[in-house]
């Protein structure tokens, strides 16, 4: 069973990500991270082992994958299951809360893939017209 917070309705309505002291900034930082987007997208298909995630997510180091998974687990977005085998078998799966992110991160991933050429053209144009003299 997942823990629940008893936050008064007035407080829940008072959260403001634009306020520098608002804890929602920490959540925004987590879910806006490129590795989080890729891990959540990968786990959308189901439970996976660490090595499978690392293989699927090109360019992620073992250290960064570990940090990302720990952060997602701490935030209640990913559940880690350890099996008592030698060596230990560890699997990761999205929690119900983590599954609520799937549509959002997939939209970001799809947008990135569909618009990369326009972004690269804009970068080339900008770089060409803003060379330091």
CATH number of 30's domain: 1.10.10.10
Going by C-beta distance under 8 Å and a sequence separation of 6 or more, which residues neighbour residue 109?
Answer: 37, 38, 41
Residue 57 lies inside a defined structural domain of this protein: yes
Would you place residue 1 in the very low, low, confident or very high pLDDT band (cuts 50, 70, 90)?
Answer: very low
Band (pLDDT 50/70/90 cuts) for residue 12 is low
* Distance from C-alpha of 28 to C-alpha of 113, rounded to nearest angstrom: 22
CB 84 within 8 A of CB 71: no
The answer to the question of residue 2 being in a domain is: no
Give domain status of residue 125, yes or no. yes
Structural domain tally of the chain? 1
Q: What pLDDT, on the 0 to 100 scale, is given for residue 13?
A: 65
d(CA 36, CA 29): 10
pLDDT tens digits for range 98-126: 999 999 999 999 999 999 999 999 999 99
Strand-pairing partners, residue 91, are: 49, 81
Give me the pLDDT at residue 129, please.
92
Q: Which domain holds residue 63?
A: 9-129
Count other Cβ atoms within 10 Å, centred on residue 120. 10
80: tokens are: 């880690």
Q: How confident is the model at residue 131 (pLDDT cuts 50, 70, 90)?
A: confident
Q: What is the pLDDT of residues 17-52, one digit of tens each?
A: 899 989 998 888 898 899 999 999 999 999 999 999
Residue 98 falls in which region: left (phi positive, over 0), alpha (psi -120 to 50) or beta: alpha
CB 37 within 8 A of CB 74: no
């Amino acid at each position: 069973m997942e823990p629940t917070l008893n936050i008064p309705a007035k407080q829940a309505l008072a959260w403001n990500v634009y306020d520098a002291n608002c804890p929602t900034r920490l959540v925004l930082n987590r879910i806006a991270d490129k590795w989080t987007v890729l891990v959540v997208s990968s786990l959308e298909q189901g439970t996976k082992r660490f090595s499978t995630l690392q293989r699927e997510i090109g360019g992620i180091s073992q250290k960064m994958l570990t940090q990302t998974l720990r952060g997602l687990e701490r935030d209640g977005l990913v559940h880690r299951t350890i099996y008592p085998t030698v060596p230990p078998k560890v699997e990761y799966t999205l929690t119900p809360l983590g599954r609520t992110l799937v549509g959002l991160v997939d939209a970001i991933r799809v947008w990135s893939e569909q618009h990369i050429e326009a972004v690269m053209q804009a970068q080339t144009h900008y770089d060409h017209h803003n060379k330091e003299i």
